[in-house]
Amino acid sequence: MPRFHYRALRPTGSEIAGELLAGDEREAASRLQALGSYPVEITAAAGRNRLGSRLLGGGHRICSRDLVLFTQQLATLVSAGVALDRSLGLVATGHGRTAARRLAAELRAAVNRGESLSDACASHPALPRHYAMFVAAGEARGDIGASLGRLAQVLERGRAASRALLDALVYPVSVMVVGCVSVSFLLGFVLPRFQVLLTSFQREPPLAMRWLLTLSEAFQELALPAAILSLAAIAFIVIRGRDAAFRLACHRRLLALPWLGGLIGKLEAERLLYLLGNLVAAGVQLPGAVAATRAAMASEAFRAALAVTQQGIERGDSVATALGASGVLPDVAAELVQIGEETGALAPMLLNAGEVLRREFETTSLELIALVTPVSIVLLGLLIGAVAAAILGTVMEVYDVAV
């Protein structure tokens, strides 16, 4: 994502300057306005931001676990009444993970130079966009500790959601991998030995064994080309994955898959609603909250949909109408958002809608595991059992001939 230099005026009239990441100048201006500043000048930056350039080898994002721990530690210290610079210093000199300590040291250096914590977070390439918005909202209310605590909950919720999807898929995928490895071993190494044995006895094998031997020969001929094609396909996807249009097409097809696409869609929609609801509840203006939520989405399809939502809100459409036009929310979630907007309780309804989708995700994932797990085990058992039966029958026939 491009980096921009900016000069802006704070509500007090003082001027600030720095760098931030944004898709274009318009998005950079929206971010500054969401933080309560009035942009004066925005220009594209040629080099890296000095803040965070040393973190993790030069600007890579800190991992989610370290970021959650860092935020929780900082929230606890600030809420306990420890001064901000001292809190950052304690985290930087503590016994935590190296990435978190370096992040604290970078932010402390920026604060000691006179920057606000929100400005330091906004210009730090290792932090997501909504991080600075939560901090800025806390600074505006004079309660940074509470905002950091809410932010830690948001980060932990996002991390837990990703782990839930991984947990839902790990067992079925493990069974499939074990099955493929087992069948490949039988076809590539075991059956060829029986072919040599049968040839030495000059006897035609049973029908089942003939089928297996034919399949084994085809596997030995096609395994290497198939592996090469698979590696080439992976390399192609990785290279083309740098293209946003290609990623958007892939993510849309992924969301269209049966079962798995529904799981991923509910997970992303829950993340969208929970983050957007917390940003609105923290006092972030709606256009900036939508922009930050868009940047936090892992799916390009949801990012494109939130771009449509942001344009609708800027035209004056309601939140429910703009989200409905994007087509990413299930009907029940869209109805809850509309009710929240009509009753003036948008933030609580966004969070309630996210909670509904979270329960649906958990229910769907449990149903998927309950269905896929026994089916995959039965299919794997039948496949290996059929191969074993064919081998055993051949062994018994060879034994009879030998006797």
Q: Looking at this protein, which amino acid is placed at residue 218?
A: A
Tokens read off for 216: 């084994």
Mean pLDDT, range 328-349, rounded to an integer: 85
- Buried residues in 34-60 as b, exposed as e (16+ CB within 10 A): bbbbebeebeeeeeebebbeebbeebe
Contact between 398 and 198 (Cβ < 8 Å): yes
pLDDT tens for residues 152-203? 888 888 787 777 777 767 777 787 788 788 878 877 887 777 777 666 666 6
Domains of the chain: which residue ranges?
Answer: 1-47, 159-403
Contact between 45 and 5 (Cβ < 8 Å): yes
pLDDT tens for residues 227-245? 899 899 889 888 887 787 8
Q: Using CA atoms, how far apart are residues 194 and 213, in angstroms rounded to an integer?
A: 9
More confident call, 235 vs 403:
235
Q: Using CA atoms, how far apart are residues 6 and 222, in angstroms rounded to an integer?
A: 57
Which residue in 91, 149, 97, 145 sits closest to 106, CA to CA? 91
Residue linked to tokens 């972030």: 284
Q: What is the pLDDT of residue 228?
A: 92
Other beta carbons within 10 angstroms of residue 143's beta carbon come to: 14
pLDDT tens for residues 28-86? 777 777 767 777 677 776 544 444 443 333 444 578 888 888 889 999 999 888 888 89
- Tell me the C-alpha to C-alpha distance, in Å, between residue 166 and each of 61, 160, 241, 334: 21, 10, 21, 27
Mean pLDDT, range 18-37, rounded to an integer: 73
What percent of the chain is modeled with pLDDT above 90? Answer: 1
pTM of the model: 0.66
The HSE-up count of residue 174 (CA atoms within 13 Å, CB side) is 8
Q: What is the pLDDT of residue 197?
A: 67
Report whether pLDDT(402) > 60.
Answer: no
Q: What is the pLDDT of residue 56?
A: 37
pLDDT tens for residues 110-138? 888 888 888 888 888 888 878 888 888 88
Contact between 32 and 54 (Cβ < 8 Å): no
Q: Which of 21-25, 51-55, 245-249 has the lowest mean pLDDT?
A: 51-55
pLDDT tens for residues 264-317? 888 888 888 888 888 888 888 888 888 888 888 888 888 888 888 888 888 888
List, in sequence order, the alpha helices (H) in 186-285.
Answer: 191-201, 207-240, 244-255, 260-281
Tokens read off for 343: 């009753």
